Structure 1
Amino acid sequence: MAGCPGLRHFKKGISGVSQWTGTEHKEMQKVFLGVLAGAVSWEVYVVARALIDFIYYAQFQSHTSKSLDALENCLKTFHQHKDILIKLGVHEHFNIPKLHAILHYINTIQALGSTDGYDSESPEHLHIEFTKEGYHASNKCDYVEQMALWLQRREAMWIREGYMLWLSENMEDLVRREKIMDRWEWLDEEDEPDVDNDGSAPHHATLTYNIAKRAPFCNVSVEDLATNFGATEFIPALTTFLHEHIPDSPVEPGPHDSFDLFKQCIRAIPEVKANGRKAGVAAVFNTALVVENATDYQQAGGIASLRAAQVRAIFMLPPQFGSYPHPLAYIEWFTPLGQPEARTGMHVVSRSTHHSRRNAIIVPINRLARGYHLMAKCRAQIERTWTSHNVLERAKYFYLNSYIDIDTFSVLKYLAITTHPTKRILLPQSALGTIK
């Protein structure tokens, strides 16, 4: 399983886990469907997919009629095909209280709101803040009275802090409004900002990023970029970037140039070899969804104009090539997103090539929309030479993991339906037509 920020690796497998916690269940379900695809019959897969999709839809913080329809669709699919697990001897019956409880989810959400408002995680977390921390702050004698006094004092400080924050925000808003009014007094009619037909200012999706003030890898040569970072097409990619964005650049990049590289934003870290007793560290080059066309993405949002890529290097453009406002990223493209597989409901991509070499370009890092997780597309027999460190290099096809977190699931599964009705993302019910 390729690595990804926020993904837990079960390095010793899952068979040795004697008692599963809710957190471990959540970690496992992030990769569960990618592991099952091709390893079990599609009749079994559609049951697992329907149930996990239901779990993710049920965790939405807000719902529409379409999301509730998708939730109901998942539930119907599960109950229509769950008998396959009885036929295979996986389970004897489905008289399970939790399976009965999910029958009431839709009506409950319509009556009381989204499920995150009445799950057990909030009171469990409050138990830590209001009970455990208060008890540890006492001297363990007559602790109930001490805990109540401790909570009273903390609440007083919270109220005071909230009041001071409210004051500071009001002052900032007042100063901001005064500056805006001063600016509008000097605007000519031809300088007024563009507005839509309805008179409102246009709203576009924007991307922000955080990066270190100082690059941890300084003066990295082009040769090191190729050998340690895998950026084998760095010079051609940078030449193309300069021709497109800085056409008046005074010099052309060459093999003798050096660059200052970052290792965060999206992780791009070369291998650290073992030194004495200190163990080595494998290279980490994360994958991301990158904006191909900024205009299309700003107007449509969602997955419009997004494409998977692997980030090999993040660097600042040296001053001899000209000035550019953002750090840059050397990326290697995967193939464009097409329609998802009917059975798995996930997009499948592979390495993109250009003239029999990897298709690599350089983009500003504000084009990196989000970090993303790719899972190797396996069959029943998994290639034993694959490891979490080399699978992105050795596997041929990959699933875009829609289940790495709720936000990603909503973008790939739900927003793709609501924002692009003609580009329909198949729900579990749609996969049933392929089952024979």
Structure 2
Amino acid sequence: MLDFLYLAKYPVHTMETLDRMEEALKMYHENCQVFIDLGIRQNFNFPKDHFSNHYRELIELFGTTDNFNTKYTERLHIDLAKEAFRATNSKDEFPQMTAWLDRREKVMLHEKFILRRFEDSSNNVPPPCIPPLVQPREMKMATSPLVYGVSFEEIETKYGATDFKGALSRFVIHSQRPELTKRQVEDAAASLHLPFYKVSVFHRIKFISHDPYSINPSASIVVDSIHCEPARFDRYNNRIPGRFDTAMVNIANGGRVGVKGYCVGQIRCVFVLPSKVQKEWFPGQSPPLHLAYVEWFTPFASLRPGRDHGLYKISKRTIDGQQRASVIPINLIKQSAHFIPAFGPVAPAEWKSSTVLEVASSLYVNCFSDRFPYSTIY
């Protein structure tokens, strides 16, 4: 039965997987009588047992069993059962638990009511309206870099930013002289001297949001993050693969919703320039504080979503066999992007989450990963 449940939650279902599910279910039904013979159970008339007979049919009709777990109810069990039981004297606990939960809910509601009345009386704001599907979010960076003094050679080898110096040179030339064509920028960048060989890097970009309807509206929570950290070894000397997430990047005045003006890129490195170089390269202007090295995928402008699934299919954007890359200000990054690899008839067993972006020739941009991409990517 455990093998059956594992296969049911498998991320990709092929005919081979479904056949293995049927074999595991058949084996379970042939042997479950032993639990009744031993007196462990009287029967198997419960919903989960019956529902297992319909897994294959439902998978073939509606697809994979995403989020098919009991984590939500397990979490509620802590709030509504365990904490409530701890508030009792362990004798005749049921009425004490229900009374404790009822009073706790009333106190929370009354606290929210008082806070809203105070806010209305002080700011004279209109009554709250129906909250939006997704609250606004803003980018949040750490105050200090995670690693200081990372050499260009380390960035190219450990972080995989193979064209770091060239991309940085092109960014500087284009920022100083935006009227130049791409060819002119390439020629000018080839002769640009970089008066340093190390930068300080960050390994994470965070997006935070505030819930105005919570008890503490000023509190922020991290709702999205983009990681760009190289491989490392843990304290047991086990190798932890590097993680370089992908993101939606605003490259041509993209709007709040839709993919027009956006492109997907893999974030290889987030860094800051030395302060002395910033003043030299950007005199009289406010230079971007944080920069990112990005490897590009196919732009959305040349694509259409699939008719059956509504997802955009993209691939690496290459020139002479090398993936195109650029250095950009991180304020152009809108959100992280989740991919579904285009597996084909069978998912290759050697594909791992840490290598799939390197080996997969095509990927689907998943707009169903959470509420924000669902409401902004289409």
Q: Match of 1:241, SS?
A: helix
Matched, 1:270 2:230: yes
Matched, 1:336 2:299: yes
Compared with structure 1, are the counterparts of its residues 353 and 17 closer, same or farther at alpha carbon in structure 2 (3 Å cutoff)? same
Could you say which residue in structure 2 is the equivalent of 1:254?
194
Could you say which residue in structure 2 is the equivalent of 1:420?
none
Could you say which residue in structure 2 is the equivalent of 1:280?
239
Shift, 1:373, TM fit:
1.9
Matched, 1:136 2:78: no
How big is each residue's C-alpha offset from its partner over 1:147-188, in whole Å with a ceiling of 9 and x where there is no partner?
Answer: 2443355245424532453256347736x9xxxxxxxxxxxx
Compared with structure 1, are the counterparts of its residues 122 and 156 closer, same or farther at alpha carbon in structure 2 (3 Å cutoff)? same
Compared with structure 1, are the counterparts of its residues 242 and 170 closer, same or farther at alpha carbon in structure 2 (3 Å cutoff)? farther
| Structure 1: runs of 5+ lacking an equivalent | 1-14, 45-89, 103-119, 177-204, 417-436
| Structure 2: runs of 5+ lacking an equivalent | 19-52, 63-69, 126-134, 179-190, 206-225, 279-285
Which of 156, 161, 169 is the aligned partner of 2:119?
A: 169
Could you say which residue in structure 2 is the equivalent of 1:230?
160
Question: Contact 1:135–1:143 (CA<8 Å) still a contact in 2?
Answer: yes
Matched, 1:315 2:271: yes
Q: Amino acid of the residue matched to residue 377 of structure 1?
A: A
Which of 238, 244, 260 is the aligned partner of 1:304?
A: 260
Question: Contact 1:272–1:283 (CA<8 Å) still a contact in 2?
Answer: yes
Could you state the TM-score of these two structures normalised by the residue count of structure 1? 0.55
In the aligned structure 2, how far is the partner of 1:292 from the partner of 1:407?
A: 19
Could you state the TM-score of these two structures normalised by the residue count of structure 2? 0.62
Compared with structure 1, are the counterparts of its residues 381 and 367 closer, same or farther at alpha carbon in structure 2 (3 Å cutoff)? same
Compared with structure 1, are the counterparts of its residues 246 and 304 closer, same or farther at alpha carbon in structure 2 (3 Å cutoff)? same
How many residue pairs get aligned? The number is 285
> What pairs up with 1:18-57 in 2 under 5 angstroms?
18-19=4-5, 31-32=11-12
Aligned-pair identity in percent equals 27
Matched, 1:394 2:334: no
State the structure with bigger RCO (CA 8 A, min sep 6), 1 or 2. Answer: 1
Shifted more, 264-273 versus 129-138: the winner is: 129-138
Q: Amino acid of the residue matched to residue 262 of structure 1?
A: F
Matched, 1:404 2:360: no
Matched, 1:293 2:223: no
How big is each residue's C-alpha offset from its partner over 1:333-362, in whole Å with a ceiling of 9 and x where there is no partner?
Answer: 001120134455432211112354321111
Could you say which residue in structure 1 is the equivalent of 2:40?
none
Compared with structure 1, are the counterparts of its residues 165 and 329 closer, same or farther at alpha carbon in structure 2 (3 Å cutoff)? farther
Q: Which has the higher strand share?
A: 2
Question: Contact 1:208–1:366 (CA<8 Å) still a contact in 2?
Answer: no
How big is each residue's C-alpha offset from its partner over 1:35-69, in whole Å with a ceiling of 9 and x where there is no partner?
Answer: 66xx89xxx9xxxxxxxxxxxxxxxxxxxxxxxxx
Question: Contact 1:207–1:369 (CA<8 Å) still a contact in 2?
Answer: no
Could you say which residue in structure 2 is the equivalent of 1:354?
319
Shift, 1:309, TM fit:
0.9
CA RMSD of the aligned region, Å? Answer: 4.1
Shift, 1:19, TM fit:
3.8
Q: Which has the higher helix share?
A: 1
Question: Contact 1:326–1:366 (CA<8 Å) still a contact in 2?
Answer: no
How big is each residue's C-alpha offset from its partner over 1:353-384, in whole Å with a ceiling of 9 and x where there is no partner?
Answer: 23543211112222222211223322335545
Question: Contact 1:317–1:324 (CA<8 Å) still a contact in 2?
Answer: no
Q: Amino acid of the residue matched to residue 290 of structure 1?
A: V
Q: Match of 1:231, SS?
A: coil
Compared with structure 1, are the counterparts of its residues 16 and 352 closer, same or farther at alpha carbon in structure 2 (3 Å cutoff)? farther
In the aligned structure 2, how far is the partner of 1:131 from the partner of 1:403?
A: 32
Question: Contact 1:341–1:348 (CA<8 Å) still a contact in 2?
Answer: yes
Could you say which residue in structure 2 is the equivalent of 1:192?
none
Compared with structure 1, are the counterparts of its residues 376 and 255 closer, same or farther at alpha carbon in structure 2 (3 Å cutoff)? farther
Q: Match of 2:258, SS?
A: coil
Question: Contact 1:334–1:350 (CA<8 Å) still a contact in 2?
Answer: yes
In the aligned structure 2, how far is the partner of 1:243 from the partner of 1:259?
A: 19
In the aligned structure 2, how far is the partner of 1:260 from the partner of 1:168?
A: 46
How big is each residue's C-alpha offset from its partner over 1:387-406, in whole Å with a ceiling of 9 and x where there is no partner?
Answer: 32222112222222344335
> What pairs up with 1:25-104 in 2 under 5 angstroms?
31-32=11-12
